[in-house]
């Protein structure tokens, strides 16, 4: 059997590879970088993502590498008063069938790499940058910058927000600069006062600013992301651009002491920034034997924390369709039809949630709108892509 070609060895591409291998479908994963690794940042795995990863046999690995929050809260950006607190712990498995985890992205990436290589030691090719795609009625060929050509039965573009596969299928898009800059860091927990560590995870929404922090790696590190509306600022769409702690301090001047304490604890060489760009949902993801997955198909703003989860859901649905359908084009068409409405809602709701979180929290929480939004998000997370009808 010809392999399924997967372009990109990020979280979505590796989950797709694992899901296919579990079904006896061979894969070739082509990664453009010369070595594997992932961004040094935290990630929230909501139950709709972990239920899929557990279905792929990763429950023990998630338990070893993930932090389950005892509680989650919202504080007022000026006063520090708790606006909402939710007890989490083991209740999410009871409610959703899987827990929520806070993880270091690199740890989750390593878990997936190990799982793929355990089933297919030579499946991942490094230093393979896609430059072209050639398909016909019987298969598809990936053409790489190093001169290698690989033939397969299908090609899945998991190559992220700057996807070459996407540009080949539907043309290069022009993302919209949102005017929002995000700053991130991982702070050693011993640098933080103990009295600011509750709730386990916490957000501070505010006018033109939004701050979120939660622990990773067994509570040894505190991950934070700080969003600021800064339309005249630098606007490069990259996760690896360095920032200064002073720049973050200036953006959050006047915010309550707990926020200031986390920023003050940031190590000088461990602060990064990226500019948020927005994209509209695509009308079509698939052409013949080629399709898109994750950010390549539906890049979204981070205000729902569902970007990686949508890629993980895509991966299991794609694998199930390729296993169930008699032809590759039919499988890709079915995959797209099952995923498009849900991912479109997530893209648009992430955009809207950003508007809410970057606004004055008083009317949002006093009117009950925040509670209604939370109910909608809870319903969205109550979803198991590994068992929906194909």
Q: Which residues contact 148 (CB under 8 A, 6 or more apart)?
A: 125, 128
Q: One of 101, 183, 210, 214 is an active-site residue; which one?
A: 214
Residue 214 designated active-site: yes
Contact of 325 with 334, CB cutoff 8 Å: yes
Torsion of CA 42, 236, 310, 139, to 10 degrees: -120
Q: Compute the distance between CA of residue 186 and CA of residue 189 in angstroms, rounded to an integer.
A: 9
Q: Compute the distance between CA of residue 191 and CA of residue 270 in angstroms, rounded to an integer.
A: 14
Closest-CA residue to 376 (of 345, 340, 343) = 345
**Residue 385, both tokens:** 């892509």
Angle between helices 11-22 and 105-119 (to 10 degrees): 30
Q: Compute the distance between CA of residue 37 and CA of residue 253 in angstroms, rounded to an integer.
A: 34
Torsion of CA 217, 181, 310, 121, to 10 degrees: -50
Q: Which residues contact 343 (CB under 8 A, 6 or more apart)?
A: 281, 297, 298, 300, 310, 314
Q: Is the peptide bond before 199 cis (omega within 30 degrees of 0)?
A: yes
Query: For residue 281, what is the DSSP state?
Result: P
**Residue 294, both tokens:** 């994750």
**Residue 141, both tokens:** 């060929």
Helix (H) or strand (E) holding 237: none
Q: Which residue has the tokens 């707990």?
A: 258
Q: Which residues are catalytically annotated?
A: 214
């Amino acid at each position: 059997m010809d392999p399924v070609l997967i372009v990109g060895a990020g979280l979505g591409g590796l989950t797709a590879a694992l899901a296919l291998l579990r079904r006896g479908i061979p894969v070739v994963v082509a990664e453009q970088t010369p070595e594997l690794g992932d961004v040094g940042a935290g990630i929230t795995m909501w139950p709709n993502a972990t239920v899929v990863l557990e279905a792929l046999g990763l429950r023990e690995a998630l338990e070893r590498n993930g932090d389950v929050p005892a509680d989650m809260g919202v504080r007022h950006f000026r006063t520090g008063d708790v606006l909402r607190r939710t007890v989490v712990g083991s209740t999410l498995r009871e409610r959703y069938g899987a827990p929520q985890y806070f993880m270091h992205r690199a740890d989750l990436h390593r878990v997936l790499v190990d799982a793929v290589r355990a089933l297919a030691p030579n499946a991942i090719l490094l230093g393979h940058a896609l430059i072209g795609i050639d398909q016909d009625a019987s298969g598809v060929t990936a053409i790489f910058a190093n001169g290698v050509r690989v033939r397969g039965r299908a090609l899945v573009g998991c190559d992220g927000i700057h996807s070459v596969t996407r540009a080949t299928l539907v043309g290069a898009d022009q993302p919209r600069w949102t005017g929002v800059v995000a700053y991130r860091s991982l702070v050693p927990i011993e640098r933080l006062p103990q009295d600011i560590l509750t709730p386990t995870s916490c957000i501070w929404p505010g006018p033109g600013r939004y701050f979120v922090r939660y622990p990773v790696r067994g509570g040894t590190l505190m991950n934070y992301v700080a969003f600021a509306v800064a339309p005249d600022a630098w606007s490069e769409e990259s996760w690896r651009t360095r920032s200064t702690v002073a720049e973050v301090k200036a953006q959050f001047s006047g915010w309550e002491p707990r926020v200031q304490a986390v920023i003050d604890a940031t190590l000088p060489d461990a602060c990064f920034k990226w500019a948020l760009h927005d994209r509209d949902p695509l009308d079509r993801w698939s052409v013949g034997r080629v399709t898109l997955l994750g950010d390549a198909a539906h890049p979204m703003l981070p205000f729902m924390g569902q970007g990686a989860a949508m890629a993980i859901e895509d991966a299991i649905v794609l694998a199930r369709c390729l296993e169930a359908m008699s032809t590759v084009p039919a499988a890709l068409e079915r995959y797209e039809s099952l995923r498009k409405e849900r991912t479109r809602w997530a893209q648009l709701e992430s955009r809207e949630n950003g508007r809410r979180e970057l606004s004055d929290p008083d009317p949002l929480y006093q009117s009950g709108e925040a509670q209604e939004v939370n109910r909608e998000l809870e319903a969205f997370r109550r979803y198991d892509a590994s068992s929906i009808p194909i």
